[in-house]
Chains A and B, each alone.
Chain A
Amino acid sequence: DVKVTQSSRYLVKRTGEKVFLECVQDMDHENMFWYRQDPGLGLRLIYFSYDVKMKEKGDIPEGYSVSREKKERFSLILESASTNQTSMYLCASSLTLLGKEAEQYFGPGTRLTVT
């Protein structure tokens, strides 16, 4: 069974703080993703990584950066948290990006509140 874990289910941070969200997968997947989910907007891709140290911007990368130093771990960094980054953050992983094996496995999510 694929398992994707996220470091926290709930997080409260202050405006201007640097925030790290960690994600770990145990299936040796090549690809990892960070999404945010807001009411009425669905899931929006922030960044994804297709290999160690490789990354690509998604639809809404502004205000975020990512780090993938090891295959199993993908970190999302908010350099200076702002209130408009209050959201549910979901991490996912997949074996491939193409075709039948591109199924994404999601973690439980981190609900981040920035005050």
Chain B
Amino acid sequence: LAKTTQPISMDSYEGQEVNITCSHNNIATNDYITWYQQFPSQGPRFIIQGYKTKVTNEVASLFIPADRKSSTLSLPRVSLSDTAVYYCLVAPGGRRALTFGSGTRLQVQP
């Protein structure tokens, strides 16, 4: 299983762009990179997924370099409601489930 490493916590202010980087050095060829968001007292929620280059949706962008050994979740113009824990996961092939690490706790201040 590809292990992921991401910062434990980050602070930001409303209106700023936030970039959270995740390293996954032993990612396999058929692995996808997925990010989830979790608010207090709720289960995690899917944000975005990618395989290579760049993916963008209405919530975030995901940047993946050519070697795929890292990925960066970009949240444009964060608001207080973006305060949450963000998890980076690498989806393994075969009959194995995802493994969530400890995530990055993002605190957005006014």
Contact = CB atoms under 8 A, between A and B. Distances in A.
The answer to whether A and B interact is yes
Interface of A: 4, 31, 33, 35, 40-45, 48, 50, 56, 58-59, 90, 92, 97-100, 102-109
Interface of B: 30, 32, 34, 36, 41-46, 49, 87, 91, 93-103
Contacts of A58: 97
Nearest to B8: A40
A97 B103 contact: no
B67 to A, nearest CB: 20
Given A98-B91, A99-B91, A102-B32, A31 B42 contact: no
| For the complex of A and B, 9 pairs with smallest distance between CB atoms | A106-B43, A43-B100, A42-B102, A48-B97, A103-B46, A90-B43, A102-B91, A42-B101, A42-B100
A41 B101 CA distance: 7
A98 B102 contact: no
Contacts of B36: 104
B44 A104 contact: yes
B87 A45 contact: no
A97 B95 contact: yes
A93 to B, nearest CB: 11
Given A97-B95, A100-B49, A104-B46, 11 more contacts: A42-B101, A45-B98, A56-B96, A56-B97, A97-B94, A98-B30, A102-B34, A103-B46, A104-B36, A106-B44, A109-B41
Contact of B87 (A33, A42, A103): A42
A33 B93 contact: no
A100 B45 CA distance: 15
A44 B44 CA distance: 13
Contacts of A40: 102
A108 B42 contact: yes
Contacts of B99: 45, 59
Contacts of B42: 106, 108-109
